[in-house]
């Protein structure tokens, strides 16, 4: 037991059916549905291998979203193939979450075998994201289809999804109401490491918030600014564009259309309000980049052509951010500064990441895209701590109890 949560050391899993929630949500190519990275799949290997080697019948539950938040969901079939490769044995996969096919596949499992169910977010009830205010209590989550159909087949629930520990959803918080529960090895490592890190962050403490998960980024920004954890927040990506728009700065009609089409228009008001309150600690870009005829073009604010779509921060901004990062003692990063996957729009992210490698500050980085960028620039060994969680990490840093941690503590009282 650590932090009031049981670990795998507390259970003999041989011959037991273990329902294990993992987070293998990876960046996905929207056009092809192909995984752009597999780092989170690799990260959950120790737990799955341990369960299998100890003779458990392991049922894996996971979600896979897309790179534009909660609009698209993809099958977990490719993940089973990747996981099989990492483990060196077959991970079975079934095109069902908790229906008769899935339940039969669970019952058919033999000791040591592993089954991955299809994307749990294909179930509407799993989409009880706190952002959409469709909140269910943990007791209500225990009565959902997914939990009430699968829990009777399981002996133990294991959560290894630290990266999703900020989500209050049935496969994350419902099973703990019914089954003895434990955290998996990855969850244990991430939770314990980050807890000890956060006891006394050294100041100045700088947050770099970018990426495309806008609701996450705004929620986190408000929290770290209002609680005082952030001395400065450097903005990049879509987050920065929304802030600039909120200040009436021209960011190009393409950028504005994207914000509006993605239903992020409401965040412009949120950004205005945040900037009015914390403007002295929120750093906005002074220049932006866009692509014209395949080439990168940059412009200062006030001189951005009307028709462009901004895809990166400009090089002046990148230099300012570099200086901030070099002067900091602690830096937390969540989300890239632009579309770093493509050469003309990668400069901002590349420069920030190089600064993370060069600074003496303790650097903590989290989230799928951030890890992908770290791998791309070959900097995995030069970051202080790389966490699979993005939103979960920042929410945790805000000092709030994560819903999954609360549920696992409850699960520690079951079957005693």
Q: Which residues bind ligand 3PG (CB under 6 A)?
A: 23, 25, 65, 163-164, 167, 213, 367-368, 390-391
Q: Which residues, 6 or more positions from 279, have their beta carbon under 8 angstroms from its beta carbon?
A: none
- Least gap, CB of 21 to ligand 3PG (angstroms): 11
Closest to ligand 3PG by CB, 23 vs 176, is 23
- Least gap, CB of 170 to ligand 3PG (angstroms): 13
Question: Distance between CA atoms of 239 and 244, rounded to whole angstroms?
Answer: 9
- Least gap, CB of 190 to ligand 3PG (angstroms): 12
Closest to ligand 3PG by CB, 136 vs 153, is 136
Name which of 372, 150, 348 is nearest 239 in CA terms.
348
Question: Distance between CA atoms of 340 and 368, rounded to whole angstroms?
Answer: 13
Question: Distance between CA atoms of 114 and 116, rounded to whole angstroms?
Answer: 7
Closest to ligand 3PG by CB, 56 vs 407, is 407
- Least gap, CB of 172 to ligand 3PG (angstroms): 9
- Structure token pair of residue 248: 């009436």
Is the peptide bond prior to 72 cis by the omega test (within 30 degrees of 0)?
A: no
- Least gap, CB of 236 to ligand 3PG (angstroms): 17
DSSP collapsed to 3 states, 207-253: EEECCCCHHHHHHHHHHHHHCCCCCEEEECHHHHHHHHHHCCCCCCH
- Least gap, CB of 25 to ligand 3PG (angstroms): 3
- Least gap, CB of 43 to ligand 3PG (angstroms): 12
Closest to ligand 3PG by CB, 390 vs 411, is 390
Helix crossing, 77-87 with 45-53: angle to 10°? 70
φ and ψ of 334, to 5 deg: -140, 105
Alpha helices in 13-99 (DSSP H): 39-43, 45-53, 77-87
Closest to ligand 3PG by CB, 170 vs 391, is 391
Closest to ligand 3PG by CB, 338 vs 390, is 390
- Structure token pair of residue 70: 């909660």
Closest to ligand 3PG by CB, 106 vs 397, is 397
What is the CB-side half-sphere exposure of residue 416 using CA atoms within 13 A? 9
Pairing verdict, β 232-235 and 282-283: parallel
- Structure token pair of residue 386: 């790389």
Closest to ligand 3PG by CB, 336 vs 390, is 390
- Least gap, CB of 380 to ligand 3PG (angstroms): 18
- Least gap, CB of 389 to ligand 3PG (angstroms): 6
What region, left, alpha or beta, does residue 88 occupy, with left being phi > 0 and alpha being psi -120 to 50 degrees?
left
Strands (E), 219-366: 232-235, 282-283, 287-292, 295-300, 312-313, 330-334, 362-366
Closest to ligand 3PG by CB, 108 vs 131, is 131
* Nearest residue to ligand 3PG, by Cβ distance, number only: 25
């Amino acid at each position: 037991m650590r932090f009031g949560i049981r670990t795998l050391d507390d259970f003999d899993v041989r011959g037991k059916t273990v329902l294990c929630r993992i987070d293998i949500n990876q960046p996905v190519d929207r056009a092809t549905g192909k995984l752009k990275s597999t780092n989170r799949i690799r990260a959950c290997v120790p737990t799955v291998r341990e369960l299998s080697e100890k003779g458990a019948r392991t049922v894996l539950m996971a979600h896979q979203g897309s790179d534009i938040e909660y609009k698209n969901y993809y099958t977990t079939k490719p993940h089973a193939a990747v996981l099989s490769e990492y483990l060196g044995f077959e991970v079975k996969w079934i095109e069902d979450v908790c229906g008769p096919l899935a339940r039969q596949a669970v019952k058919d499992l033999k000791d040591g075998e592993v089954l991955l169910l299809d994307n749990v977010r294909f179930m509407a009830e799993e989409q009880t994201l706190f952002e959409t205010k469709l909140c269910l209590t943990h007791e209500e989550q225990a009565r959902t289809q997914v939990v009430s159909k699968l829990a009777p087949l399981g002996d133990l629930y294991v959560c290894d999804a630290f990266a999703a520990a900020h989500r209050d959803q049935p496969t994350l918080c419902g099973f703990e109401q019914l089954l003895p529960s434990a955290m998996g090895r990855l969850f244990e490592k991430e939770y314990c490491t980050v807890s000890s890190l956060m006891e006394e962050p050294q100041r100045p403490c700088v947050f770099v918030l970018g990426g495309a998960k806008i609701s996450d980024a705004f929620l986190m920004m408000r929290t770290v600014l209002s609680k005082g954890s952030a001395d400065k927040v450097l903005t990049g990506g879509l987050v920065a564009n929304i802030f600039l728009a909120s200040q009436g700065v021209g960011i190009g009609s393409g950028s504005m259309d994207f914000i509006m089409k993605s239903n992020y228009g409401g965040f412009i008001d949120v950004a205005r309000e945040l900037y009015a309150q914390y403007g002295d600690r929120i750093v906005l870009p002074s220049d932006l980049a866009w692509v014209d005829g395949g080439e990168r073009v940059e412009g200062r604010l006030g001189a951005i052509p009307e028709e462009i779509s901004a895809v990166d921060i400009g090089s002046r901004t990148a230099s300012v951010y570099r200086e901030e990062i070099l002067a900091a003692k602690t830096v937390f990063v969540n989300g890239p500064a632009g579309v770093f996957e493509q050469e003309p729009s990668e400069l901002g992210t590349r420069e920030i990441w190089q600064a993370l490698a060069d600074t003496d500050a303790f650097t903590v980085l989290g989230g799928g895209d951030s890890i992908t960028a770290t791998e791309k620039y070959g900097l995995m060994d030069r970051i202080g701590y790389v966490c699979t969680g993005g939103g979960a990490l920042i929410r945790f840093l805000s000092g709030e109890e994560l819903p999954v941690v609360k549920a696992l503590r409850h699960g520690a009282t079951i079957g005693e």
